[in-house]
Amino acid sequence: MMKILYSFLILLLVQANGLTQSQDKKIKISDDLELIQISDDAYIHVSYTISPKWGRIGANGLLLIDNKQAFLFDSPWSDKQTEELISWAEDSMNIEIVGFIPNHWHEDCMGGLKYIQEKGINSYANQMTIEIAKTNDLPVPENEFKDSLELKLGEKLIKCYYFGAAHSMDNIVVWIPSEQILFPACMVKDMYANNLGNTADGDLNSYPTTITKVMNKFPTAKIVIPGHGAYGGKELLEHTLKLTKK
């Protein structure tokens, strides 16, 4: 009976979340790139690629704006898509990207770092992300932090935290207090997910502990953005924690 009730509640949350997102302002930049406005100053960027194993996959990132300047959190899959996104933001939104932070080292987070660096945009990352990037001969973010990092974009605070391994060994979360937005990326799954996805570079034993730390740290989060799929609220954290215990 409890399992049926839980499934029913999940269905209601998914339907409500889908209705909310259908009302969001979507901007199509290209066939494989779009923006979803989630607040006056914040947009989810969604980029798509074709995976031989998974088919067409969309990946989420975040664009935060204050006074014509912006930070990019995770890049699209490739340098080409990242150039499309940044060029569109500069030309159509009249903003300057001044900083970049990847969630972890995978291509759906920093596949566009080479172009970002060519633009002279400052990049910041967990020191573990930097070490893994060097080991894998990938573009390397310039500025590192260990446990936490606090930056300012105009009047907006940007807070980055490393709570432990989950989807990957180096994954962080980003908290935007002014918007009550939490961006844990691939660490957190959307409400349609029935498993944790790709954990080949992560730690299943640490996963539930890490998610629990995130839940306890951000009880006021209103918008939670997963790495793939539809955004929602704190129910995404609760859903992911349940998936870690399957």
Annotated catalytic residue 160: no
Task: Considering the candidates 32, 79, 108, 190, report the single residue annotated as catalytic.
Answer: 108
Annotated catalytic residue 239: no
Closest CA to 66 of 96, 26, 101: 96
Annotated catalytic residue 198: yes
Annotated catalytic residue 167: yes
Q: What is the token pair recorded at 6?
A: 């839980």
Q: Which residues are bridge partners to 185 per DSSP? A: 226
DSSP, collapsed to helix, strand or coil, labels residue 28 as strand
Task: Considering the candidates 45, 104, 156, 239, report the single residue annotated as catalytic.
Answer: 104
Q: What is the token pair recorded at 119?
A: 């633009």
Annotated catalytic residue 45: no
Task: Considering the candidates 74, 79, 106, 126, report the single residue annotated as catalytic.
Answer: 106
- Angle 55-59-62 (CA atoms, 0-180°, nearest 5)? 170
Task: Considering the candidates 45, 156, 189, 239, report the single residue annotated as catalytic.
Answer: 189
Task: Considering the candidates 119, 122, 198, 203, report the single residue annotated as catalytic.
Answer: 198
Annotated catalytic residue 106: yes
Q: Give the whole-angstrom CA distance, residue 58 versus residue 69.
A: 26
DSSP 195: S
Task: Considering the candidates 41, 167, 190, 239, report the single residue annotated as catalytic.
Answer: 167
Task: Considering the candidates 41, 186, 190, 239, report the single residue annotated as catalytic.
Answer: 186
Give the catalytic positions in this structure: 104, 106, 108, 167, 186, 189, 198, 228
